[in-house]
Homo-oligomer: A and B are copies of this chain.
Amino acid sequence: MAFIDELKFDQDGLIPAIAQDADSGEVLMVAWMNREAVEKTCAKGLAHYYSRSRKKPWLKGEESGHLQHVLEMRTDCDGDVLLIKVRQESGACHTGYRSCFFKLRTSDGGLREDGVKAFDPGKVYRKALPT
């Protein structure tokens, strides 16, 4: 049985994908894939997601250079979520944090930023701004 045929894409043809650091186990981000993004990810060994605004797959890191090298791909018992284990270059989050999950609930129900800064987004994304 083909892995891709086990996946249940939703009514928009999408499936959520969790990217997890293959070494540390840290959950880095969650984004959407369509069938084409899954196929590209498998073919190239680099994570591709689906942009709902641009309506097409995109290579994670195509602008920032922060590629995700895919070491393993899994789905769950229902086949409706993907889990990919990756080697993340620099950081996954557009804010500069290594992981998107830097917003921690404190014991009093508040919120505190807690994460490792991997890069300066002002420098990394500056090149994309109009000059």
Binding site for B on A (CB under 8 A): 1-4, 6, 16, 18, 20, 24-27, 29-30, 42, 72-79, 81, 83, 93-95, 97, 100-106, 109-111, 114
Q: How many copies does the complex hold?
A: 2
Q: Which residues of B contact A95 (CB under 8 A)?
A: 77
Given contacts A73-B104, A74-B101, 12 further A-B contacts (CB under 8 A): A3-B105, A20-B25, A24-B25, A25-B26, A27-B83, A29-B76, A42-B105, A74-B114, A75-B105, A76-B101, A78-B100, A81-B101
- Given that A27-B83, A83-B101 are contacting pairs, would A94 and B110 also be in contact in the complex, using a CB cutoff of 8 Å? no
Could you tell me if B76 and A100 are in contact, using CB atoms closer than 8 angstroms? yes
Partner among B4, B76, B94, B105 whose Cβ is within 8 Å of the Cβ of A77: B94
Give the residue name and chain of the B residue nearest to A24 (CB): B25
Q: Which residues of B contact A74 (CB under 8 A)?
A: 101-105, 114
Partner among B26, B42, B94, B106 whose Cβ is within 8 Å of the Cβ of A109: B42
Question: What is the CA–CA distance of A103 and B75 in the complex, to the nearest angstrom?
Answer: 5
- Given that A18-B30, A27-B20 are contacting pairs, would A110 and B1 also be in contact in the complex, using a CB cutoff of 8 Å? yes
From residue A37, how far is it (CB to closest CB) to chain B in Å? 14
Question: What is the CA–CA distance of A130 and B105 in the complex, to the nearest angstrom?
Answer: 41
- Given that A26-B25, A27-B83, A81-B30 are contacting pairs, would A3 and B110 also be in contact in the complex, using a CB cutoff of 8 Å? yes
